[in-house]
Amino acid sequence: MKTVYDFTVTDRKGNDVSLSEYKGKVLLIVNTATGCGFTPHYRPLEEMYREMRDQGLEILDFPCNQFAGQAPGNDDEIHSFCTVKFGTEFPQFAKIDVNGETASPLFAYLANEKPFAGFGKGIKNTFLKKFSDMNNKKFGEKAYIKWNFTKFLVNREGRVIARFEPTTDMEEVKKAVSAAL
């Protein structure tokens, strides 16, 4: 049976990285953007990383520009923004696509393991759904990820155990990560 450890990704310097390097860790894999309304999620992500990395947490950051062009910079510009504005220390990889024919195989796998189940209720969630639907029409059945800051929780055996949409409260994410540790 396939796990996240079967995938190789590219770091922001262009080097291949086998996710098997993270065996035995709890992973939170996130597609991000520097110009999104959810960009402030970097702060609680970094706080969680600093608090829990000694317990075995790794947060893997994959910038993506497929959602309204909200990550327009190159890998170095994005990294600089994140480290200066939010003090991020968790690993950041090369910018990728998460939807369509050019989607990262990792994100296609993650989304197939834990498909989209909705943004939740409320005005903000309803608005995001409409915007997301318009944006993702072009990807059809390969619209794996609905928006920036979708998070996948992976256990120490490399299995996807939860998916959190960007509208999920970060305290709920933190509780799930803590339980997985």
Above 70 in pLDDT, residue 127? no
Range of the domain at 140: 4-180
Q: How many Å apart are CA 54 and CA 150, to the nearest integer?
A: 24
**Average of per-residue pLDDT across 122-133:** 69
Top-confidence residue, 162 or 121: 162
First to last CA, the chain: 22
Catalytic residue among 9, 29, 36, 180: 36
pLDDT digits (tens, 9 = 90+) for 40-61: 999 999 999 999 999 999 999 9
Dump strand ranges (E) for the chain. 8-10, 16-18, 26-32, 57-63, 151-154, 160-164
Paired tokens of 20: 């098997």
4 and 29 Cβ atoms separated by less than 8 Å: yes
**Average of per-residue pLDDT across 129-154:** 81
36 catalytic per annotation: yes
Lowest mean pLDDT among 75-84, 103-112, 171-180: 75-84
The CATH number assigned to the domain holding 170 equals: 3.40.30.10
**Average of per-residue pLDDT across 1-30:** 96
Q: What is the mean pLDDT of the chain?
A: 91
Confidence at residue 128, expressed as pLDDT on a 0 to 100 scale? 67
pLDDT band at residue 159 under the 50/70/90 scheme: very high
Top-confidence residue, 119 or 98: 98
pLDDT band at residue 1 under the 50/70/90 scheme: confident
Confidence at residue 6, expressed as pLDDT on a 0 to 100 scale? 97
Domain count along the chain: 1
What's the predicted TM-score (pTM) here?
0.92
Full DSSP string of 41-107: GHHHHHHHHHHHGGGTEEEEEEEB-TTTT---S-HHHHHHHHHHHH---S-BB--B--SSTT--HHH
Q: How many Å apart are CA 146 and CA 20, to the nearest integer?
A: 27
Percent of the chain with pLDDT over 90: 72
